[in-house]
Structure 1
Amino acid sequence: MTEKQYSLNNRPPSVAHLFLERVASTPDRIAFRYPVVTEGEGPDDWSHSWTWAQTAERVYAVAAGLMDLGIRPEDRVGIASATRVEWILADLGVMCAGAATTTVYAQTDAEETAYILSDSGSRVLFAEDAAQLAKVRERRSELPELSHVVVLDAADAVAAEGDPEGWVLSLDELSERGATYLEKNPDCVTETIAGLRGDQLATLIYTSGTTGRPKGVRLSQDTWSYMGLAVRQIDLIAEDDDQFLWLPLAHVFGKMLLSSHIVIGHVMSVDGRVDKIIDNLPVVRPTAMCSVPRIFERVYNGVANRAREAGGARYRIFTWAVGVAREYARTAQESYRRTGKESVPAGLALKHAVADRLVYRKLRAAFGGRLRGFVSGAAPLSPDIAYFFCGAGLPILEGYGLTESAAASAVNPWQGYRTGTIGKPLPGNEVRIAEDGEILMRGPGIMQGYHNQPEKTAEVLEPDGWFHTGDIGELSDDGYLRITDRKKDLFKTDGGKYVAPSEIEGQFKAVCPFVSAMVIVGAGRKFCSALIALDEAAIMSWAQQNEVPGTYAEVVAHERTRALIDGYVQELNGSLQRWQTVKKFQLLPRELDVEHGDLTPSLKLKRPVVEREFSGLIEEMYDPA
């Protein structure tokens, strides 16, 4: 098997090498499952799959098709699409042609899409559908190097007046060209892979900038072979797992999961429709799933509010079960830390068994009934929410990484996971804490630099390879990392006290079941204040139950809603230091989302954007009048 043939210090130059070995080793094992949308109501059809051999046949045709279009090693090829199995096919095809994938989020507007494709020098683009094709068609004059657009949805691969001849192709047409090219050059794919070097460019991922243009992060071929082998070494995912992949593959987290998938060889069930996650879970019945904190927050809020609506005994039972789960998880983790074995007092174990029958079992069933746990990354997760899931039998292994470090720099282990930390550094990754508390990293996962921006590279990457993460953290004696905040997000009040906003925001999410986002402000001010966005489904359900009329914006503006949220803010303040307490808050007239630019596509808060958008509300809170 692949994982037995290589070590981290003796790894192949690229994931393409590992892909060839995976196909040769387990050709008939299922590689991917994917849905076909069915007419009418009901779940989609998940009976469709590709084995590794079937995947390879498709991948080689795409790779050879790209070669027929003139693509050569390190040429850039863009992918503008939501997560779907064809995204993976395109990426593997680019990889086996020796080229470099440039990722573009499906939500990216035409202007920024054109910037990314132009800055990267992309020569071919895989566009998901007519909407993605329209973006580049609108800006074609700015993209002289873009010679072809390959459309994944065949029905949308339609040329328009003014398109150069052959500029638009369907994925099937590209594959047909590839099949013909392979007949003439049967060894073109394997020979290209054999010639790859580890230092060649494999991926350009553009960070979601909160100000200015995004930066293209250059990640080399052997970065991904290292990532795949490192994840395998820590047994994060097992060979017999069925992993549900919905994360945006334009994000480095998703790309890392594809690398480990090739090394480990497990089943990957793929569907990027976020609105279908809850429907998919009981059908797919995954054993592992990687996610981001917002999903866990939504699930927790949804369960809590359904219990609240039921009222009476059901709500009291749920509230009791939440407390038991948190106590159980904390006690078990502390026991493991001290003795190397999870154990809890008999009385707590009995209460936990009762709560399991009444509450936790139903929660696990909603996730398909087979999940052994989650991996969470991309943003901080409230410890109280994590403790609840862990105590309910759905442990969340928090991890950490940046685009510049190829996503996975540290992660908690299955045995000895420690809520509130991001676990231990991956094998081969060095970590140290600078004098000012910033986390520095060095290792095979660190980027080569920012594309076409040597001055920006020099700001974060030292000549000896140490990368400045921009995060403040602590490293325990036994090697667990904890993030306290982003260096640029820490602020001082005018009284000289430091405030870590994300820590306060995380606590509030565990206290208030109606919140979708909180943004703490107060840099240079006399006190801290907050912008609070409410979860629309949760607050509208509450409004209906409590006869508060109106639209979402009207409900949010109602005095009874404000009184409700004020109670939770006061509860939060009771756990904070005096200088951290939220003296005033404003309820936002809408939820924060990707479409308005408040969140990145991986649902990470764009703090400066939100503060600019709602600057008037902030100033009202500090108006002496």
Structure 2
Amino acid sequence: MSDTQTLIENRPPSVAALFLERVAATPDAEAYRYPVPNAAGEGPDDWKSLSWAQAAERVYAIAAGLIELGVTPEQRVALAASTRIEWILSDLGIMCAGAATTTIYPQTNADESAFILSDSDSRVLIAEDAAQLAKAVEKHGELPDLTHVVVIDPTGVETADWILTLDELEKRGAARLEKDPDLIKERVGAITKDQLATLIYTSGTTGRPKGVRLPHDNWSYMAKAIAATGLVGPEDVQYLWLPLAHVFGKVLTSGQIEVGHVTAVDGRVDKIIENLPVVQPTYMAAVPRIFEKVYNGVVAKARAGGGAKYKIFQWAAGVAREYAKVSQDNFRRTGTASVPFGLGAKHKVADTLVYSKLREAFGGRLRACVSGSVALAPEIGYFFAGAGIHILEGYGLTESSAASFVNPGEAYRTGTVGKPLPGCEVRIADDGEILLRGPGIMEGYHGLPEKTAEVLEPDGWFHTGDIGELSPDGYLRITDRKKDLFKTSGGKYIAPTEIEGSFKSVCPYVSNILVHGADRNFCAALIALDEVSIMGWAAENGLGGKSYAEVVAAEQTIAMVDGYVKQLNAGLQRWQTIKQFRLLPRDLDVEHGEITPSLKLKRPVVEREYAHLLEEMYAGTREA
């Protein structure tokens, strides 16, 4: 048995047990950093640290406090908060109490929050602030099993018998631990690997979300498998901003406990650019939309610098892509990422002029980024790779505890999601669907045995719903969601996400795009433009002072986007080309339910909302 197999197979039954091991092994090492407003109340935040021992003191107090509230093993405790240090401490506290965390996005409305609380049978809710508490208060009459709400930020909150602050919960827990110091050790010691640890509700595109049941063993396996990849080490500093209610964010907390590195936590997306030079992370995870925004911002800045600067940037971007493609190809063939002398010389000049500044904006120490949730447009990936910001795409689902595949460090291949994590099996079905089996696969959907049976075979193979292909040496490329593939009236199959990704790599102003054409005789597109980028372009093109809606309706804007659509079409098969498009009057967003909190497009919602634009594009055309 290899060292990797031994590491994974001899895993403890829970991450709670791993946490106790980590605290015992490195109690004084730094575990977490988190921002607090500075004393002056203005300017950049101050950052504070917690050692593993300090974090444990709070975690154990939260766990004991929950036990004081009557929480028993496997009972659900819901967590409705943004990504912050208290989310992690609360989640660990819930697990160390032997209970199970129900995650709720803070953007979730009162009706859906109430459904999740009821469906999960959550007994306690840990709410971020007065706004999250208000949702529970509004629906309290419909939630007879919800006995308490614990509020992290008590500003503007009036406590009651069933409402207390996190600080009060911790004080109750600390008092209990004084009387019963072995309480947490005993609770953690009693956890079995099959015991429920987490219920994560998938944001369905239609109907109510389904609760994915992830037992403790899923997270313990993930922690060991992430460590076994060798991608992160104890000296790393992770910048964690992803939503922790999402499985991608949650799995990163498990890996960190096993490896023991530092995590800087701040979920405020508008603070990312400000935080990166302060945190100086060595790695971070993100979704493609973040890299697209950075890329669009860099393009807009170069364009604003005048014709000469923009030409230099375009040249440097071309060099970056060529350098990345050649070096990756050579590494694949020879094991060395070498490039011809001339290309290397051009790359060195471009690095001085462009790439080095981009790396500094990321904090200057970034070794790698992990990207997941949806596909990253390869041309954007090649640009960053050539600029020295290595984006390792990975793949997984809520039902597979997030991380099933990841690109292997130096040997990463842009456009693929890499190789399976140790312990994960994969096969491609006859229709191209990716099937997975292994210790990361869910137990099933909560209270939905028929839905579970639809995707989980008796022998453990899970149907992902994604279409993909494996290279002879085990790299996986995702081509599309099975349910997103459509056939035109001419009988041609179209993979819309592939076309959408290609457009994002040619048009620096796009924010979201939806390609449509099921049972139609051509493909059309709904395009939403990135507000910051397009307003910068507008100011330079005689549209300054106009609103976003006026800018996207302007003839110049439509003509400019049409140029990029023609550029896209030049690289597509005839039946894939976009014959018509419409610019949307506003960007798609979570609040309108058009994208999920993890920034995935909800196609049925967008198609329903903009049906009039789709019909307008197809009006008068002959349907086959």
- Which range, TM-score by smaller chain? over 0.9
Match of 1:236 in 2: 231
Compute the displacement of 1:155 (Å). 2.6
Give the structure 1 partner of residue 554 of structure 2.
558
Indicate if the aligned counterparts of 2:359 and 2:388 stay in contact, CA closer than 8 A.
yes
Shift in CA distance, 362/374, structure 1 to aligned 2, threshold 3 Å: same
**Structure 2 vs 1, CA of residues 576 and 5 (structure 1 numbering), >3 Å: closer, same or farther?**
closer
Q: For the Cα contact (< 8 Å) 1:15–1:225, is it kept in 2?
A: yes
- 8 Å contact from structure 2 (residues 194, 215) kept in 1: yes
1-structure distance, mates of 2:507, 2:130: 41
Instruction: Write the distance in 1 (CA, Å) between the matches of 2:318 and 2:354.
Output: 12
Cα deviation digits, residues 524-566 of structure 1 (max 9, x gap):
0000000000001111111111112521001100011100000
Partner of 1:418: 413
Partner of 1:343: 338
* Conserved 8 A contact 2:210-2:446: yes
Match of 2:590 among 573, 594, 599: 594
Aligned to 1:125: 125
Shift in CA distance, 332/4, structure 1 to aligned 2, threshold 3 Å:
closer
1:544 is the counterpart of 2:536: no
Map of 1:370 onto structure 2: 365
Question: 2:330 aligned with 1:330, yes or no?
Answer: no
Is the Cα contact below 8 Å between 1:109 and 1:135 reproduced in 2? yes
1:415 aligned counterpart, secondary structure: helix
TM-score of the superposed pair, with normalisation by structure 2: 0.98
Distance, in Å, in 2 between the alignment partners of 1:304 and 1:4 is: 43
Residues 1:455 and 2:467 aligned together:
no
Does the CA-based 8 Å contact 1:236-1:413 persist in structure 2?
Answer: yes
Question: Given that residues 492 and 524 in structure 1 are in contact (C-alpha distance below 8 angstroms), is that contact kept between their aligned partners in structure 2?
Answer: yes
* Aligned residue among 562, 566, 573 for 1:570: 566
Equivalent positions of 1:392-541 (< 5 A) are: 392-541=387-536
**Post-superposition CA distance 1:50-84 (Å, at most 9, x none):** 00000001111000000000111100000000000
- Asked whether the equivalents of residues 83 and 267 of structure 2 are also in contact (C-alpha less than 8 Å), the reply is yes
Measured in 2, the distance between the counterparts of 1:86 and 1:421 equals: 35
1:63 aligns with 2:76: no
Task: State how far apart, in whole Å, the 1-side matches of 2:351 and 2:175 are.
Answer: 59
C-alpha deviation, 1:309, in angstroms: 1.3
SS at match of 1:331: helix
Question: Which digits, 9 at most, give the CA deviation of each residue in 1:92-136, with x for residues without a partner?
Answer: 100100100000000000000000010000000100000000001
What does the per-residue CA deviation read over 1:390-438, in whole Å, with 9 as the maximum and x for residues that have no partner? Answer: 0000010000000000000000011200000000000000000000000
Counterparts of 1:534 and 1:379 in 2: how far apart (Å)?
Answer: 19
Deviation of residue 41 (structure 1)?
4.5
Partners of 1:41 and 1:324 in 2: CA distance? 42
Determine if contact 1:81/1:128 at 8 Å carries over to the other structure.
yes
Asked if the contact 1:101/1:203 (under 8 Å) is kept, the reply is yes
Distance change (3 Å), C-alpha of 1:156 and 1:186: farther
C-alpha displacement of 1:156? 4.0
SS of 1:268's partner is strand
Please give the secondary structure, in 2, of the residue aligned with 1:213.
coil
CA distance in 1 between counterparts of 2:101 and 2:341 reads 54
Instruction: Determine whether 1:113 maps to 2:113.
Output: yes
- Letter of the 1:454 counterpart: P
User: Do the aligned partners of 2:524 and 2:617 also contact (CA within 8 Å) in 1?
Assistant: yes
Render the CA deviation track for 1:146-191: whole Å, top value 9, x for unaligned. Answer: 10000000334423xxxxx520010010011101111222111000
**Whole-angstrom CA distance in 2 between matches of 1:102 and 1:585:** 41
**Which of these residues, 270, 287, 297, is aligned with residue 275 of structure 1?**
270
Task: Render the CA deviation track for 1:188-211: whole Å, top value 9, x for unaligned.
Answer: 100011111000000000001110
* Residue 99 (structure 1) aligns with: 99
Q: Superposition pairs for residues 59-208 of structure 1, below 5 Å?
A: 59-159=59-159, 165-208=160-203
**Which of the residues 209, 212, 215 maps onto 2:204?**
209
Deviates more, 1:60-69 or 1:545-554: 545-554
Tell me how far apart the structure 2 counterparts of residues 219 and 201 of structure 1 sit (CA, whole Å): 6
Aligned counterparts of 1:100 and 1:6: Cα–Cα separation in 2? 28
The partner residue of 1:610 within 606, 609, 612 is: 606
Supply the distance in 2 between the matched residues of 1:77 and 1:282 (Cα, whole angstroms).
36
Equivalent residues in 2 for 1:14-33, closer than 5 Å: 14-33=14-33
Give a deviation string over 1:285-320, Cα, whole Å, max 9, x none: 111110000000000000001111112211010000
2:306 aligned partner: 311
**Which of residues 221, 240, 250 is equivalent to 1:226?**
221
Kindly state the Cα deviation for residue 249 of structure 1 after the two structures are TM-superposed.
0.2
Q: Deviations over 1:460-517 (max 9, x none)?
A: 0001100000000001110000000000000010010010000000000010011001
Q: Take 2:267 and 2:6, find their aligned partners in 1: how far apart are those partners?
A: 32
Change (3 A) 1:448 1:156: farther
Q: Which residue of 2 aligns with 1:44?
A: 45
Name the CA distance, whole Å, in 2 between partners of 1:468 and 1:392: 37
CA contact (8 A) 1:150 1:157 kept: no
Q: Is the 8 A contact 2:130 2:154 kept in 1?
A: no
Given that 2:4 and 2:228 are in contact with CA atoms closer than 8 Å, whether structure 1 keeps it comes out as: no
**Counterparts of 1:234 and 1:415 in 2: how far apart (Å)?**
12
Instruction: Provide the rounded CA distance (Å) in 2 between the counterparts of 1:367 and 1:296.
Output: 11
* Contact 1:154–1:172, Cα closer than 8 Å, also in 2: no
Q: What secondary structure, in the 3-state scheme, does the structure 1 residue paired with 2:597 have?
A: coil
- In structure 2, what is the Cα distance between the partners aligned to 1:311 and 1:172? 54
2:581 aligned partner: 585
Deviates more, 1:79-88 or 1:233-242: 233-242
TM-score, normalised with respect to structure 1: 0.98
Q: Secondary structure at the match of 1:399?
A: strand
Query: In 2, Cα distance between the equivalents of 1:5 and 1:326?
Result: 37
Distance 1:569 1:311 in 2: 24
Provide the aligned length of Structure 1 versus Structure 2: 617
Distance 1:562 1:154 in 2: 48
Identity, % of aligned positions: 68
Match of 1:162 in 2: none
Partner Cα separation in structure 1 for residue 142 and residue 285 of structure 2: 37
SS in 2 for 1:513: coil
Equivalent-residue separation in structure 1 for 2:530 and 2:431 (angstroms): 37
1:569-596 per-residue CA deviation (whole Å, 9 max, x = no partner) reads: 0000000000000000000000011111
Matching residue within 307, 315, 322 for 1:320 = 315
- Residue of structure 1 in register with 2:619 after alignment: 623
TM-superposed CA distance for 1:6, in Å, is 6.3
